[in-house]
Amino acid sequence: MRLKIAADIAGAVAYLHSASSVPIYHRDIKSRNILLDEKYVVKVSDFGTSRSVATDQTHLTTVKRSDVYSFGVVLVELLTGQRPISLDKTEEERGLATRFLACMEEECMDTILDPQVREQGRKEEVILVAKLAQRCLHSKGRMRPTMKEVATELESFRISEMSSSVNVESEDVRSFGDMPAMISDTEYTWTNSYKSAFTSSSDTHPLVLYESVS
């Protein structure tokens, strides 16, 4: 289910970047702005800081890669079940992305993975997703993949997962914040046909795993 959620988020953002008539860059991709309904359908919300870019290619690329980095953080949250910022840690260890990249470099990824991911996920698949997150978090924007590439890779992982007939428990994945979801007037819903670009919903909740992960 976490893989499905990740693939759907990536697909939604990739659509905004590449498939819409005018490229749209969200600029505030984070778990609080990823909403799920009762069927785990993903909605990307809060377009208050988004912008359309259709002129300067350098600026376009910079903004696009910024969304990729932010998605990388969300992907790491799905892998680890941890907050993006942990105030109970030392200053240099507070950032989840920094800790994750350090674990990848030191080849100790198991120490940071959510126990559920570590125990129930296929090792090969988890490694592939972790390496993709690592690429999304590259310090140099030009070295990060595009959201279209990210979406394609995650969808291929998902298809591989489905074909392997591995059952993933979903009940522990979705967790809701304590406050009601604040939904902007315009939201994006990813569908296989790519046609239902913007919808509204009153029964959605933010994707915040760590509030229920011990």
Enumerate the active-site residues. 28
Torsion of CA 72, 61, 43, 40, to 10 degrees: -40
Alpha carbon of 167 to those of 28, 100, 210: distances in Å?
32, 26, 22
Cα dihedral sign for 127, 129, 133, 135? positive
**Partners of 34 in the β-ladder:** 44
Q: Maximum CA pair distance of the chain?
A: 47
The upper half-sphere exposure of residue 70, i.e. CA atoms within 13 Å in the direction of its Cβ, equals 19
Q: Is 59 helix (H, G, I), strand (E, B) or coil?
A: helix
DSSP alpha helix (H) spans, the chain:
2-14, 57-80, 96-105, 115-120, 123-136, 147-163
Q: Which residues contact 113 (CB under 8 A, 6 or more apart)?
A: 79, 80, 126
Do the Cβ atoms of 71 and 29 come closer than 8 Å?
Answer: yes
